[in-house]
C-alpha cells in the first residue's frame, strides 16, 4: 500500500484561492481516512495478501517476524519523517505522524471486534484497494498521509509534476518482485490486483486542479 501518497498545497499564482479546512474538518477527515485504511489492511491480512509501499514492507515483515503490523508499520515509518519535515513542512509531518500512530493502533484493535470467516482473495483484494484508496484520499485532502514511501512520491509529484500514483506503481513493482521470491505466486497475483485498484483510485481522484480546499 500506501502506503501513502500526497496532498498538494503549493499552488502557483494562476491557481484559484484555497479555502482552508477547520480543525474539526481536519480531525474528522483524518480519522475517517485512518479507519478506512485500517479496515482495508485488516481485510488484506485476513486473506493473507500483501501490498506495496511502506505498508507492504510492514505486512511482509509482520508475516515473517510474527510482530503485529501496527508495530512494524510505525517503526519503519520513522526515518521518513525527516524528509517530510524538510520538504513538506511541519503541519504535514505532524499530521502524518499522528495518522500513522492511529493506524498502528486501529489495525491492532480491529481483529478484536471484526472477524471474517470466509472471503475470497480476489474480492478481498478489490475491497482492500478501494477502501484504502478512499481512506488515503481523505487524508490527502486534509494535509496528511501515511508517511513512508508516499512522502517520496509526493515530493516527486510536487517537484516534477509526475503523478504520484505512477510513482507508487513503480515502487510497488520492486516490492512485488521481492515478494514473488518469498510467497506463492497466487498470493502475489491477487495482491497485485489490490495494489492496482488502490493506485487507480488515487490516480483518477487525486488532482489539485479539481480540489482547491486545503
Residue 211 lies in a domain: no
CB atoms within 10 A of CB 133: 28
Cell of 124: 478481498
Residue 10 lies in a domain: no
Residue 31 lies in a domain: yes
CB atoms within 10 A of CB 138: 20
% of the chain with per-residue pLDDT over 70: 87
Residue 14 lies in a domain: no
Residue 1 lies in a domain: no
The predicted structure's pLDDT at residue 31? 93
Residue 132 lies in a domain: yes
4-43: pLDDT as tens digits: 444 433 433 355 556 777 778 888 989 999 999 999 999 9
**Domain, as residue range, for 123:** 23-205
- Long-range interactions of 182-188: CB distance < 8 A, separation 24+: 182/60, 182/64, 183/50, 186/121, 187/48, 187/49, 187/50, 187/121, 188/50
CA distance 51 to 59: 7
Q: Rounded to 5 degrees, what are φ and ψ at 213? A: -75, 150
Q: Report the predicted TM-score, pTM, of the whole model to 2 decimal places.
A: 0.80
Count of the separate structural domains present in the chain: 1
Give 210's pLDDT tier (boundaries 50, 70, 90).
low
Three-class SS of residue 190? helix
124-180: pLDDT as tens digits: 999 999 999 999 999 888 878 787 887 777 778 878 888 876 887 788 888 999 899
Query: What rounded mean pLDDT belongs to the chain?
Result: 83
% of the chain with per-residue pLDDT over 90: 35
Q: Which of 12-35 are b and which e, b meaning 16 or more Cβ less than 10 Å from the residue's Cβ?
A: eeeeeeeeebeeeebeebbbebbb
The predicted structure's pLDDT at residue 6? 45
The predicted structure's pLDDT at residue 86? 74
Residue 148 lies in a domain: yes
Residue 48 lies in a domain: yes
Angle between helices 164-182 and 53-65 in degrees, nearest 10: 20
Amino acid at each position: 500500500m500506501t502506503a501513502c501518497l500526497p496532498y498538494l498545497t503549493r499552488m502557483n499564482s494562476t491557481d484559484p484561492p484555497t479555502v482552508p479546512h477547520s480543525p474539526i474538518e481536519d480531525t474528522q477527515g483524518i480519522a475517517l481516512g485512518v479507519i478506512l485504511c485500517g479496515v482495508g489492511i485488516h481485510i488484506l491480512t485476513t486473506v493473507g495478501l500483501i501490498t506495496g509501499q511502506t505498508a507492504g514492507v510492514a505486512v511482509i515483515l509482520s508475516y515473517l517476524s510474527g510482530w503485529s503490523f501496527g508495530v512494524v508499520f510505525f517503526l519503519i515509518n520513522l526515518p521518513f519523517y525527516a524528509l517530510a519535515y524538510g520538504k513538506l513542512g511541519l503541519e504535514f509531518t505532524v499530521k502524518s505522524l499522528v495518522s500513522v500512530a492511529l493506524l498502528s493502533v486501529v489495525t491492532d484493535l480491529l481483529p478484536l471486534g471484526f472477524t471474517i470467516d470466509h472471503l475470497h482473495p480476489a474480492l478481498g483484494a478489490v475491497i482492500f484497494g478501494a477502501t484504502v484508496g478512499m481512506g488515503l484520499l481523505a487524508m490527502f485532502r486534509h494535509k496528511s498521509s501515511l508517511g513512508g514511501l508516499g512522502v517520496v512520491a509526493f515530493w516527486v509529484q510536487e517537484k516534477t509534476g509526475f503523478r504520484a500514483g505512477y510513482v507508487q506503481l513503480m515502487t510497488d513493482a520492486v516490492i512485488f518482485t521481492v515478494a514473488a521470491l518469498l510467497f506463492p505466486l497466487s498470493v502475489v497475483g491477487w495482491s497485485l490486483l489490490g495494489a492496482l485498484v488502490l493506485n487507480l483510485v488515487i490516480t483518477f481522484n487525486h488532482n489539485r486542479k479539481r480540489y482547491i480546499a486545503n
